[in-house]
Amino acid sequence: MIIGVPKEIKNNENRVALTPGGAQELVKRGHEVYIQTHAGEGSGFPDDEYVQAGASILPTIEAVYDKAEMIMKVKEPIEPEYELIKKDQLVFTYFHFASYEPLTHAMIKSGAVCLAYETVEKADHSLPLLVPMSEVAGRMAIQEGAKYLEKPLKGRGILLGGVPGVRPAKVLILGGGVVGTNAAKMAAGMGADVTIMDVNLPRLRYLDDVMPANVNTFMSNEYNIRELVPTHDLIVGAVLIHGAKAPHLITRDMLKEMREGTVLVDVAVDQGGCIETCKPTTHEDPTYVIDGILHYCVANMPGAVPYTSTLALTNATLPYAIELANKGWKKACKENRELLLGLNVIKGDVVYEAVAEAFDLPFVRVEEHLI
Ligand SMILES: NC(=O)C1=CN([C@@H]2O[C@H](COP(=O)(O)OP(=O)(O)OC[C@H]3O[C@@H](n4cnc5c(N)ncnc54)[C@H](O)[C@@H]3O)[C@@H](O)[C@H]2O)C=CC1
Ligand SMILES: CC(=O)C(=O)O
Ligand SMILES: [Mg+2]
């Protein structure tokens, strides 16, 4: 198969979808790999390392899209990329369709096959291609949150861990999945007073078992969230309903109950955000203030730490990319249900139910495209 890896063009997105080592694994199996020039530089991989691995370098993004049967990317295509995607081309990347209707319509119009990293799903319901970036974003949520709690950055001016004789900050984490667990570990390690909320009671039991003593768990419902928000300094949004738009757990009116300078980090922004006042921001301009409450809603948090993120992401994606390249998307998806669940849009049809529901679009069963 001919595989193309374009350079990411989203604001401050420094990740790349394939390392030289990954390119070598594909080339070894008889595939052709084309990398856009400088695509890997932000992650520490110059063009010549790809050439040594057996890949070829192309000078422009257009050349990569023109040539490739499978495009491997990191972030969802943004507007200038829509027109580059060809009919029948396989696009393997994050899409987060349910949060952005124009992207959904553009991909329907393209006639491409859109296989979304974030909905590839194992039998135990875990999301193997989201996990590594959720680990990064969960850990970063505390790093960023701690920074924006500083007064010069418009936060409350409270040190996460406190000091002897002064109480630590209080951190509330909505959602105890991968992002939530990683955020809790970091916050707890820094000495904060941490509460994790989730609707999944077995998950809360598990977290209660494995977390240190400065982490407590609490059932997530509107009543309980309202009770906690006025006393917390840093609130992390980390909920997910697979493939769907995130529910609004923090509503606009709750902001008035919070103390000025409270910091909200809505990691779930890529699925629309679980804070009603969340709107996507960039690493260049990551925050805004509403009613005295600081919001941080960067949709590609791991893009800021590409040396870690590119390796973590490609460790997870490569085995699936090899299977897609070896078998073609149809056979690979027929034989591997994890990949099948990644299919969101195929040749003009929405085949992922939560995406169809989000925009009231016709839903077509994926099996109809596998015949
Ligand atoms: N902004 C960014 O750069 C990044 C964003 N993300 C996003 O972070 C979000 C969370 O991802 P993961 O932790 O991997 O998902 P996950 O599936 O591991 O965890 C989500 C948790 O939310 C819980 N949940 C669902 N409804 C809830 C409710 N009403 N109240 C409380 N908890 C609820 C679930 O029970 C589950 O434990 C996703 O939207 C993901 O796409 C992930 C990586 C990077
Ligand atoms: C998952 C995601 O949105 C990211 O890694 O940017
Ligand atoms: Mg994102």
Query: What is the structure's pLDDT at 51?
Result: 98
Mutation test residue for ligand 2: of 94, 100, 267, 278, the one with most atoms within 8 Å of CB? 94
Calpha distance 268→221 (Å, rounded): 17
Tell whether 298 is in a known binding site.
Answer: yes
Calpha distance 74→319 (Å, rounded): 16
Torsion of CA 333, 179, 267, 44, to 10 degrees: -70
Q: Which atom of ligand 2 is nearest to the CA of 301?
A: 6
Pocket of ligand 1 (CB under 6 A): 118, 130, 133-134, 137, 174-180, 197-200, 203, 220, 238-241, 247, 249, 267-271, 299-302
Mutation test residue for ligand 2: of 93, 133, 311, the one with most atoms within 8 Å of CB? 133
Q: Record the tokens describing residue 133, joined without a space.
A: 């970036």
**Beta strands 234-237 and 263-266, pairing class:** parallel
Q: How many CA atoms lie within 13 A of 83 on its CB side?
A: 3
270 is catalytic: yes
300 CB within 6 A, ligand 2: yes
Mean pLDDT over residues 41-66, rounded?
98
272-281 per-position pLDDT tens digit: 999 999 999 9
Residues near ion ligand 3 (CB < 5 Å) are 270, 299-300
Q: Which atom of ligand 2 is nearest to the CA of 130?
A: 1
Query: What is the structure's pLDDT at 232?
Result: 98
Calpha distance 269→277 (Å, rounded): 10
Tell whether 203 is in a known binding site.
Answer: yes
Q: In 3-state terms, the chain is what percent helix, strand and coil (to 5)?
A: 40, 20, 40
145 CB within 6 A, ligand 2: no
Mean pLDDT over residues 252-261, rounded?
98
Calpha distance 157→153 (Å, rounded): 9
Complete domains list, the chain, with CATH: 2-119+305-369 (3.40.50.720), 131-299 (3.40.50.720)
Query: What is the structure's pLDDT at 223?
Result: 98
- The percent of residues above 70 in pLDDT, for the chain, comes to 100
Tell whether 365 is in a known binding site.
Answer: no
Q: How far is the CA of 302 from the centre of ligand 3 (A)?
A: 8
104-125 per-position pLDDT tens digit: 999 999 999 999 999 999 999 9
| Confidence band of 261 (pLDDT split at 50, 70, 90) | very high
Query: What is the structure's pLDDT at 217?
Result: 98
Whole-model pTM over 0.95: yes
Mean pLDDT over residues 268-296, rounded?
97
197-247 per-position pLDDT tens digit: 999 999 999 999 999 999 999 999 999 999 999 999 999 999 999 999 999
